[in-house]
């Protein structure tokens, strides 16, 4: 593993460093955009280079990730295998120029190292045919997909959260947390529509990774649950945002919450792998998310749920990670996005299952992205766990649909040990309830439990 620098030896310690704070990078990017464009953050285009971090993502050709290509470029390279169970501590990378993620065949290059070697670019670039590297592309910011509305609303809200936190004002109120319709006694509408209460399966023995803003590790309704947690953003796993706790609640929450609380969790006996890849502002980056994916695959999580994204084109690093997951018997499931536009990354990757949102009447949600959609679930006004002291709340978005599919996937995985990777993907599609809408809006239809 690359050592921490003890003197000024040229290591990258700025905003483009591998261990740089993602919130600080976001604020700097927003300020740069406003200075260069002379306008406000609301005028930033979703395809603007402002949404790139300055770091680069390297995708290797199959089987070539260990060939030493980055070392041959003079880069000091850290390896995820040097960390316990593959959980990279991004803030412990020291003076490393690059981070290798061997499970998925991808590496992250710091801003300085990329700049010094003229690797920076507004678009993906291919290398010579004899190079072990397939593509080098910019790293993008990514955001939690819980807020229905335009993509940049997430960008701006994240910046507002960071600024408020720095000033000690607390995070701005998310109006979606305060809304929601009446609940059906016994179970939430999303679970009922997906036929979860009728299923005899519990997810026992299945590892489910949720890569998000973390988890309220002291939430009383998860006491005693098998749980493994790691952070990839330099912050404690404890969820100060609420998005991750809500998604984990839907995918893996309890069978019978206390009091009058309806059942909101699906795979209630699964082993939960909590990967904090988004900060407490809901902000992340491609490299940190890929590090979380690498960890989940290295730990053989059969289901990997990702309610996050960026309104960009296909990112090759995510495609490689999805393919590596399928080859290892893991299935990555991602939210399509809430921009009422084309499916964003990583869900637009052909190797990652894309989930659209439905309203409670099983019609496509107005905000839900379209195009590359594989399956759908209820995502509007979803009741689930949130951090204490509130404990429960409503949220809306494709983020809320995604963990419905992940939880159901865990139930299917429990039914047969051969239902892993692509076989699990195909079973989810084959068992989905058809809906009278285009596949570009709902995919194969509404996910159904075994």
Are the CB atoms for 95 and 9 separated by under 8 Å? Answer: yes
Token pair 């490689």: residue: 320
- State the Cα–Cα distance between residues 39 and 387, nearest whole angstrom: 36
Distances from the Cα of 327 to the Cα of 149, 317, 376, angstroms: 35, 15, 24
CA dihedral 372, 380, 271, 292 (to 10 degrees): 50
Considering the candidates 147, 212, 374, 381, report the single residue annotated as catalytic. 212
What is residue 335's three-state secondary structure?
strand
Contact 359, 368 (CB under 8 A): no
Tokens representing 343 are: 């499916």
Q: What residues does 126 pair with on adjacent strands? A: 135
- DSSP assignments along 255-272, one per residue: SS-STTPPB--S-TTSEE
Q: How far apart are CA 333 and CA 307, in angstroms?
A: 8
Residue 39 backbone phi and psi in degrees, to 5: -120, -160
Per-residue burial over 397-406, b if 16 or more Cβ lie within 10 Å, else e, is bbbbbbbbbb
Select which of 21, 174, 231, 243 is catalytic.
243
Determine whether 399 is an active site residue. yes
DSSP 55-67: EEEEEEPTT-TTS
Which of 144, 270, 281, 399 is flagged as catalytic? Answer: 399
Closest by Cα among 208, 217, 209 to 236: 217
Rounded Cα distance between 290 and 214, Å, is: 16
Q: What is the total residue count of the chain? A: 450
φ, ψ for residue 91, nearest 5 deg: -85, 5
Give, for 116, the enclosing helix (H) or strand (E): helix 111-116
- Segment (H or E) for 190: helix 189-193
Calpha distance 11→7 (Å, rounded): 9
In whole angstroms, give the CA distance from residue 385 to residue 245. Answer: 6
The residue assigned the tokens 């790293």 is: 139
User: Is 212 tagged catalytic?
Assistant: yes
Whether the CB-CB separation of 307 and 402 falls below 8 Å is answered with yes
Active-site residue, 174 included: no
As a whole number of angstroms, the distance between CA 366 and CA 150 comes to 11
State the catalytic residues.
Answer: 212, 243, 399
């Amino acid at each position: 593993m690359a050592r921490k620098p003890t003197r000024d030896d040229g290591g990258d310690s700025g905003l483009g460093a591998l261990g740089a704070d993602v919130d600080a990078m976001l604020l700097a990017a927003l300020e740069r955009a406003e200075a260069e464009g002379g306008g406000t953050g609301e005028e930033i285009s979703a395809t603007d280079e402002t949404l790139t971090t300055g770091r680069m993502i390297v995708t290797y050709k199959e089987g070539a990730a260990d060939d030493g290509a980055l070392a041959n470029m003079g880069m000091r390279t850290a390896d995820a295998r040097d960390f316990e169970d593959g959980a990279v501590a991004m803030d412990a990378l020291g003076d490393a120029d690059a981070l290798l993620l061997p499970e998925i065949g991808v590496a992250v290059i710091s801003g300085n190292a990329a700049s010094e070697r003229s690797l920076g670019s507004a678009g993906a670039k291919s290398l010579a045919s004899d190079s072990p590297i397939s593509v080098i592309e910019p790293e993008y910011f990514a955001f939690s997909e819980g807020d229905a509305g335009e993509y940049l609303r997430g960008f701006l809200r994240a910046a507002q959260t960071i600024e408020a936190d720095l000033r000690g004002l607390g995070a701005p109120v998310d109006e979606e947390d305060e809304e929601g319709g009446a609940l059906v006694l016994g179970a939430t509408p999303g679970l009922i529509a997906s036929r979860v209460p009728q299923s005899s399966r519990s997810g026992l023995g299945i590892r489910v990774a949720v890569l998000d803003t973390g988890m309220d590790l002291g939430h009383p309704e998860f006491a005693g649950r098998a749980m493994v947690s790691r952070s990839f953003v330099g912050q404690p796993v404890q969820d100060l945002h609420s998005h991750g706790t809500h998604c984990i609640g839907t995918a893996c929450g309890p069978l019978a919450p206390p009091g009058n609380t309806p059942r909101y969790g699906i795979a209630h006996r699964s082993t939960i792998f909590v990967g904090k890849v988004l900060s407490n502002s809901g902000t992340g980056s491609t490299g940190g998310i890929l590090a979380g994916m690498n960890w989940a695959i290295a730990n053989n999580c059969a289901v990997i749920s990702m309610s996050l994204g960026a309104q960009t084109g296909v990112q090759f690093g995510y495609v490689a990670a999805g393919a590596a997951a399928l080859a290892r018997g893991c299935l990555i499931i991602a939210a399509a996005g809430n921009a009422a536009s084309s499916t964003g990354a990583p869900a637009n990757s052909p190797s990652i299952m894309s989930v659209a949102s439905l309203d409670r009447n099983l019609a496509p949600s107005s905000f839900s992205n379209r195009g590359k959609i594989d399956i759908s679930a209820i995502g509007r006004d979803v009741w689930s766990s949130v951090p204490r002291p509130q404990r429960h709340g409503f949220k809306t978005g494709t983020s809320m649909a995604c963990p419905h599919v992940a939880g159901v996937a865990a139930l299917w995985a429990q039914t047969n040990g051969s239902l892993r990777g692509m076989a699990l993907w195909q079973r989810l599609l084959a068992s989905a309830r058809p809906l009278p809408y285009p596949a570009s809006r709902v995919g194969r239809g509404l996910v159904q439990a075994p």
